[in-house]
Protein backbone atom coordinates (compact mmCIF):
# COMPACT_ATOMS: atom_id res chain seq x y z
CA UNK A 1 0.00 0.00 0.00
CA UNK A 2 1.32 3.42 -0.90
CA UNK A 3 2.00 5.96 1.80
CA UNK A 4 -0.70 8.29 0.48
CA UNK A 5 -3.43 5.67 0.94
CA UNK A 6 -2.06 4.53 4.30
CA UNK A 7 -2.16 8.08 5.61
CA UNK A 8 -5.93 8.29 5.18
CA UNK A 9 -6.71 6.35 8.33
CA UNK A 10 -5.24 6.41 11.82
CA UNK A 11 -6.14 4.05 14.64
CA UNK A 12 -6.30 5.31 18.22
CA UNK A 13 -5.36 2.63 20.72
CA UNK A 14 -4.87 2.27 24.46
CA UNK A 15 -1.37 1.03 25.49
CA UNK A 16 -2.68 -2.27 26.85
CA UNK A 17 -0.50 -5.26 27.71
CA UNK A 18 -1.59 -7.21 24.62
CA UNK A 19 -1.49 -4.35 22.08
CA UNK A 20 1.85 -5.27 20.52
CA UNK A 21 0.51 -8.77 19.90
CA UNK A 22 -2.98 -7.80 18.70
CA UNK A 23 -2.14 -4.87 16.44
CA UNK A 24 0.06 -6.67 13.84
CA UNK A 25 -2.78 -9.12 13.21
CA UNK A 26 -4.88 -6.21 11.94
CA UNK A 27 -2.54 -3.44 10.79
CA UNK A 28 0.73 -3.64 8.90
CA UNK A 29 3.57 -1.15 9.26
CA UNK A 30 3.87 1.66 8.28
CA UNK A 31 0.26 2.13 9.40
CA UNK A 32 -0.45 5.09 11.65
CA UNK A 33 -1.24 4.43 15.33
CA UNK A 34 -2.20 7.06 17.89
CA UNK A 35 -1.44 5.96 21.47
CA UNK A 36 -3.51 7.39 24.31
CA UNK A 37 -2.24 8.73 27.63
CA UNK A 38 -4.63 7.82 30.46
CA UNK A 39 -4.21 9.22 33.98
CA UNK A 40 -3.76 5.80 35.58
CA UNK A 41 -1.17 4.79 32.98
CA UNK A 42 0.84 8.00 32.89
CA UNK A 43 3.00 9.29 30.04
CA UNK A 44 5.77 6.72 30.56
CA UNK A 45 3.56 3.85 29.41
CA UNK A 46 2.39 5.80 26.37
CA UNK A 47 5.94 6.66 25.39
CA UNK A 48 7.25 3.13 25.96
CA UNK A 49 4.49 1.65 23.77
CA UNK A 50 5.00 4.29 21.10
CA UNK A 51 8.74 3.69 20.89
CA UNK A 52 8.17 -0.05 20.52
CA UNK A 53 5.63 0.53 17.75
CA UNK A 54 8.00 2.93 15.99
CA UNK A 55 10.79 0.36 16.07
CA UNK A 56 8.41 -2.17 14.50
CA UNK A 57 7.95 0.27 11.62
CA UNK A 58 4.63 1.90 12.54
CA UNK A 59 4.02 5.63 12.39
CA UNK A 60 3.43 6.05 16.12
CA UNK A 61 1.78 9.21 17.44
CA UNK A 62 1.97 9.32 21.25
CA UNK A 63 -0.48 11.44 23.24
CA UNK A 64 1.13 13.62 25.87
CA UNK A 65 -1.28 14.89 28.50
CA UNK A 66 -0.21 18.21 30.00
CA UNK A 67 -1.62 17.56 33.46
CA UNK A 68 0.12 14.17 33.76
CA UNK A 69 3.66 15.46 33.23
CA UNK A 70 5.41 16.15 36.51
CA UNK A 71 8.21 18.48 35.42
CA UNK A 72 10.13 20.00 32.54
CA UNK A 73 12.87 17.46 33.19
CA UNK A 74 10.40 14.60 32.74
CA UNK A 75 9.09 16.15 29.55
CA UNK A 76 12.59 16.45 28.11
CA UNK A 77 13.35 12.85 29.05
CA UNK A 78 10.19 11.61 27.32
CA UNK A 79 10.90 13.65 24.19
CA UNK A 80 14.49 12.41 24.05
CA UNK A 81 13.28 8.81 24.27
CA UNK A 82 10.81 9.40 21.44
CA UNK A 83 13.43 11.06 19.27
CA UNK A 84 15.72 8.10 19.79
CA UNK A 85 13.05 5.78 18.40
CA UNK A 86 12.40 8.00 15.39
CA UNK A 87 8.99 9.27 16.56
CA UNK A 88 8.35 12.57 14.81
CA UNK A 89 4.72 13.39 15.61
CA UNK A 90 2.92 14.05 18.90
CA UNK A 91 -0.66 14.70 19.94
CA UNK A 92 -1.04 17.08 22.87
CA UNK A 93 -4.05 17.32 25.17
CA UNK A 94 -4.74 18.76 28.61
CA UNK A 95 -5.65 15.33 29.97
CA UNK A 96 -8.27 14.01 32.38
CA UNK A 97 -6.46 14.59 35.68
CA UNK A 98 -8.40 16.93 37.95
CA UNK A 99 -5.25 18.65 39.17
CA UNK A 100 -1.94 19.00 37.30
CA UNK A 101 0.91 16.76 38.41
CA UNK A 102 3.41 19.45 37.42
CA UNK A 103 3.77 22.83 35.70
CA UNK A 104 1.47 22.26 32.71
CA UNK A 105 -2.23 23.02 33.16
CA UNK A 106 -3.38 22.95 29.54
CA UNK A 107 -2.16 21.78 26.17
CA UNK A 108 -1.11 25.26 25.03
CA UNK A 109 1.56 25.41 27.75
CA UNK A 110 2.78 21.95 26.84
CA UNK A 111 2.87 22.84 23.14
CA UNK A 112 5.07 25.86 23.87
CA UNK A 113 7.38 23.70 25.99
CA UNK A 114 7.70 21.04 23.27
CA UNK A 115 8.49 23.64 20.64
CA UNK A 116 11.06 25.25 22.93
CA UNK A 117 12.74 21.86 23.35
CA UNK A 118 12.76 20.99 19.63
CA UNK A 119 11.01 22.19 16.52
CA UNK A 120 11.51 18.80 14.88
CA UNK A 121 8.25 17.34 16.21
CA UNK A 122 5.04 17.91 14.29
CA UNK A 123 2.23 18.38 16.79
CA UNK A 124 -1.48 17.62 16.62
CA UNK A 125 -4.04 19.40 18.78
CA UNK A 126 -7.66 18.62 19.64
CA UNK A 127 -10.81 20.05 18.09
CA UNK A 128 -14.39 19.82 19.35
CA UNK A 129 -17.11 19.84 16.66
CA UNK A 130 -19.86 19.50 19.28
CA UNK A 131 -18.31 21.51 22.05
CA UNK A 132 -16.70 20.52 25.32
CA UNK A 133 -18.49 19.50 28.55
CA UNK A 134 -16.54 22.07 30.60
CA UNK A 135 -15.59 24.84 28.14
CA UNK A 136 -17.75 27.24 26.15
CA UNK A 137 -17.44 27.77 22.41
CA UNK A 138 -15.68 31.14 22.80
CA UNK A 139 -13.03 29.61 25.06
CA UNK A 140 -12.53 26.66 22.72
CA UNK A 141 -12.12 28.92 19.72
CA UNK A 142 -9.71 31.30 21.42
CA UNK A 143 -7.64 28.36 22.66
CA UNK A 144 -7.53 26.91 19.16
CA UNK A 145 -6.44 30.23 17.68
CA UNK A 146 -3.56 30.43 20.18
CA UNK A 147 -2.33 26.89 19.51
CA UNK A 148 -2.92 26.60 15.76
CA UNK A 149 0.15 28.60 14.63
CA UNK A 150 2.40 26.16 16.53
CA UNK A 151 0.53 23.01 15.47
CA UNK A 152 0.71 20.80 12.39
CA UNK A 153 -2.69 19.12 12.48
CA UNK A 154 -5.98 18.90 14.34
CA UNK A 155 -7.81 15.78 15.54
CA UNK A 156 -11.49 16.11 16.33
CA UNK A 157 -13.10 14.63 19.38
CA UNK A 158 -15.22 11.60 18.56
CA UNK A 159 -18.32 12.83 16.73
CA UNK A 160 -21.41 11.11 15.37
CA UNK A 161 -22.73 13.72 12.95
CA UNK A 162 -21.30 14.36 9.48
CA UNK A 163 -23.14 17.68 9.45
CA UNK A 164 -21.54 18.78 12.73
CA UNK A 165 -18.09 17.90 11.42
CA UNK A 166 -18.67 19.75 8.17
CA UNK A 167 -19.95 22.82 10.07
CA UNK A 168 -16.90 22.69 12.31
CA UNK A 169 -14.47 22.78 9.39
CA UNK A 170 -16.30 25.80 7.99
CA UNK A 171 -16.14 27.53 11.38
CA UNK A 172 -12.42 27.05 11.96
CA UNK A 173 -11.61 28.07 8.39
CA UNK A 174 -13.67 31.24 8.87
CA UNK A 175 -11.53 31.99 11.93
CA UNK A 176 -8.27 31.56 10.05
CA UNK A 177 -7.36 27.99 11.10
CA UNK A 178 -6.05 26.06 8.11
CA UNK A 179 -4.68 22.94 9.77
CA UNK A 180 -5.22 19.47 8.25
CA UNK A 181 -8.10 17.87 10.16
CA UNK A 182 -8.26 14.23 11.18
CA UNK A 183 -11.94 13.47 11.72
CA UNK A 184 -12.50 11.43 14.87
CA UNK A 185 -15.05 8.63 14.46
CA UNK A 186 -15.84 5.58 16.60
CA UNK A 187 -14.84 2.11 15.61
CA UNK A 188 -17.17 -0.82 16.29
CA UNK A 189 -18.55 -0.35 19.79
CA UNK A 190 -21.74 -1.05 21.68
CA UNK A 191 -24.43 1.62 21.64
CA UNK A 192 -24.70 1.33 25.42
CA UNK A 193 -21.03 2.18 25.82
CA UNK A 194 -21.27 5.11 23.42
CA UNK A 195 -24.20 6.68 25.20
CA UNK A 196 -22.57 6.21 28.60
CA UNK A 197 -19.47 8.02 27.31
CA UNK A 198 -21.37 10.83 25.63
CA UNK A 199 -21.55 13.38 28.43
CA UNK A 200 -17.90 12.99 29.40
CA UNK A 201 -16.72 13.33 25.81
CA UNK A 202 -18.91 16.30 24.98
CA UNK A 203 -20.78 14.63 22.15
CA UNK A 204 -24.22 14.77 23.67
CA UNK A 205 -26.06 16.52 20.83
CA UNK A 206 -25.49 13.91 18.15
CA UNK A 207 -25.92 11.02 20.61
CA UNK A 208 -29.20 12.51 21.81
CA UNK A 209 -30.41 12.73 18.22
CA UNK A 210 -29.34 9.18 17.51
CA UNK A 211 -30.95 7.82 20.65
CA UNK A 212 -34.26 9.54 19.90
CA UNK A 213 -34.93 7.34 16.87
CA UNK A 214 -36.94 4.14 17.21
CA UNK A 215 -34.09 2.06 15.83
CA UNK A 216 -31.60 3.55 18.30
CA UNK A 217 -34.05 2.88 21.13
CA UNK A 218 -34.15 -0.77 20.17
CA UNK A 219 -30.37 -0.89 20.07
CA UNK A 220 -30.17 0.71 23.50
CA UNK A 221 -32.52 -1.87 25.01
CA UNK A 222 -30.32 -4.70 23.76
CA UNK A 223 -27.17 -2.99 24.99
CA UNK A 224 -23.88 -4.72 24.30
CA UNK A 225 -25.35 -7.23 21.84
CA UNK A 226 -25.51 -4.65 19.04
CA UNK A 227 -23.07 -2.11 17.73
CA UNK A 228 -23.11 1.43 16.45
CA UNK A 229 -22.89 1.56 12.64
CA UNK A 230 -19.57 3.35 12.32
CA UNK A 231 -19.33 2.50 8.64
CA UNK A 232 -22.40 4.53 7.79
CA UNK A 233 -21.01 7.60 9.57
CA UNK A 234 -17.62 7.25 7.88
CA UNK A 235 -19.25 7.04 4.46
CA UNK A 236 -21.35 10.14 5.23
CA UNK A 237 -18.31 12.11 6.39
CA UNK A 238 -16.32 11.04 3.35
CA UNK A 239 -19.16 12.16 1.08
CA UNK A 240 -19.33 15.53 2.86
CA UNK A 241 -15.60 16.22 3.02
CA UNK A 242 -13.93 14.31 0.18
CA UNK A 243 -13.15 17.53 -1.70
CA UNK A 244 -12.26 19.65 1.32
CA UNK A 245 -8.54 20.55 1.42
CA UNK A 246 -8.57 20.52 5.24
CA UNK A 247 -9.74 16.89 5.40
CA UNK A 248 -6.69 14.75 6.24
CA UNK A 249 -8.47 11.45 6.89
CA UNK A 250 -10.15 9.43 9.63
CA UNK A 251 -8.95 9.06 13.19
CA UNK A 252 -10.69 5.90 14.39
CA UNK A 253 -11.27 5.49 18.12
CA UNK A 254 -10.87 1.72 18.33
CA UNK A 255 -11.49 1.05 22.06
CA UNK A 256 -8.81 -1.63 21.39
CA UNK A 257 -11.48 -3.79 19.76
CA UNK A 258 -9.18 -4.36 16.81
CA UNK A 259 -10.54 -7.62 15.45
CA UNK A 260 -13.56 -6.07 13.76
CA UNK A 261 -11.81 -3.09 12.17
CA UNK A 262 -11.05 -4.78 8.84
CA UNK A 263 -14.77 -5.39 8.36
CA UNK A 264 -15.54 -1.77 9.15
CA UNK A 265 -13.04 -0.34 6.68
CA UNK A 266 -13.37 -2.99 3.99
CA UNK A 267 -16.12 -1.24 2.02
CA UNK A 268 -14.40 2.16 1.83
CA UNK A 269 -12.61 2.56 -1.54
CA UNK A 270 -9.98 4.98 -0.28
CA UNK A 271 -9.05 2.68 2.60
CA UNK A 272 -9.48 -0.69 0.93
CA UNK A 273 -5.80 -1.49 0.65
CA UNK A 274 -3.37 -4.02 2.07
CA UNK A 275 -2.30 -2.02 5.11
CA UNK A 276 -5.54 -3.05 6.83
CA UNK A 277 -5.45 -6.82 6.96
CA UNK A 278 -8.63 -8.75 6.13
CA UNK A 279 -10.16 -10.81 8.94
CA UNK A 280 -9.43 -14.53 8.80
CA UNK A 281 -13.10 -15.43 9.23
CA UNK A 282 -15.13 -12.34 8.40
CA UNK A 283 -18.74 -12.26 9.40
CA UNK A 284 -21.35 -9.50 9.29
CA UNK A 285 -20.03 -6.55 11.25
CA UNK A 286 -23.47 -5.14 11.96
CA UNK A 287 -26.93 -6.71 12.14
CA UNK A 288 -28.66 -6.83 8.76
CA UNK A 289 -31.43 -4.45 9.78
CA UNK A 290 -29.02 -1.61 10.59
Q: Give the domain range for residue 210.
A: 190-226
Beta strands in 28-121 (DSSP E): 32-35, 59-65, 89-93
Note whether residue 172 is domain-resident.
yes
Query: Which residues on adjacent β-strands are paired with residue 227?
Result: 190
Residue 103 shares a structural domain with residue 81:
yes
Range 168-188 average pLDDT: 93
175 and 204 together in one domain: no
Q: In this predicted structure, what is the pLDDT of residue 285? A: 28
74 and 64 inside one domain: yes
Torsion of Cα atoms, 163 then 4 then 154 then 84, to 10°: 160
Helix, strand or coil for residue 247?
A: strand
Is 88 domain-assigned? yes
Strand-strand pairing, 247-253 and 59-65: unpaired
Which CATH number characterizes residue 133's domain? 3.20.20.220
Compute CA distances 177 → 111, 125, 143, 174, 218, whole Å: 17, 12, 12, 7, 40
Tell me what pLDDT residue 159 has: 84
| Residue 14 predicted with pLDDT over 70 | yes
- The helices-and-strands tally (H runs, E runs) of the chain is 12, 8
- The pLDDT, as a whole number, for residue 131 is 77
pLDDT at 98: 87
Both 130 and 178 in a single domain? yes
In this structure, is residue 285 part of a structural domain? no
Residue 218 has pLDDT above 60, yes or no: no
CB 26 within 8 A of CB 262: yes
pLDDT tens digits, residue range 31-87?
999 999 988 889 999 999 999 999 999 999 999 999 999 999 999 999 999 999 999
Residue 290 located in a structural domain:
no
> Which range in 168-172, 207-211, 274-278 is most confidently predicted, on average pLDDT?
168-172
The neighbouring-strand residues paired with 153 are 124
* Residue 52 within any structural domain of the chain: yes
Structural domain contains residue 35: yes
C-beta separation of 229 from 156 below 8 A: no
Please provide residue 251's backbone torsions phi and psi, each rounded to the nearest 5 degrees: -105, 105
User: pLDDT tens for residues 23-32?
Assistant: 998 898 999 9
| pLDDT surpasses 50 at 5 | no
The pLDDT of residue 229 is 67
Task: Please report, rounded to a whole number, the percentage of residues in the chain having pLDDT higher than 70.
Answer: 74
Mark whether 178 and 77 lie in a shared domain: yes
- The predicted pLDDT at position 265 comes to 62
Mean pLDDT computed over 134-144: 82
* Least confident piece of the model among 8-17, 106-115, 273-282: 273-282
Q: What is the pLDDT of residue 108?
A: 96
Q: What is the mean pLDDT of the chain?
A: 81
Residues 77 and 198 in one domain: no
- 109 neighbors 136 (Cβ within 8 angstroms): no
72 and 213, same domain (yes or no):
no
**Same structural domain for residues 197 and 62?**
no
Instruction: Please state the domain count of the chain.
Output: 2
Query: What is the per-residue pLDDT for 130?
Result: 82
Q: Are the C-beta atoms of 125 and 148 separated by less than 8 Å?
A: yes
- Boundary (domain end) residue, out of 173, 200, 226: 226
Do both 171 and 218 map to the same domain?
A: no
User: Where is pLDDT greater, at 276 or 13?
Assistant: 13
Average pLDDT over residues 134-151: 88
User: 167 and 35 in one domain?
Assistant: yes
SS3 (DSSP) at 259: helix
Q: 111 falls in which pLDDT band (50, 70, 90)?
A: very high
User: Looking at residue 149, what is its pLDDT?
Assistant: 97
Amino acid sequence: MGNEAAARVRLEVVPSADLLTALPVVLNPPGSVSVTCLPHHGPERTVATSTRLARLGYHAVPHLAARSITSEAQLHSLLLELQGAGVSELFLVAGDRRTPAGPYCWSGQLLEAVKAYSDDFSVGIAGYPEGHPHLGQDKLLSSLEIKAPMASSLVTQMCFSAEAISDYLRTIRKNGVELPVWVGVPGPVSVKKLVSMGARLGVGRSLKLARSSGMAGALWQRGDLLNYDSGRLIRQVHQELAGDPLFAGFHVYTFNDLGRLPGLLDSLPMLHEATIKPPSNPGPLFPARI
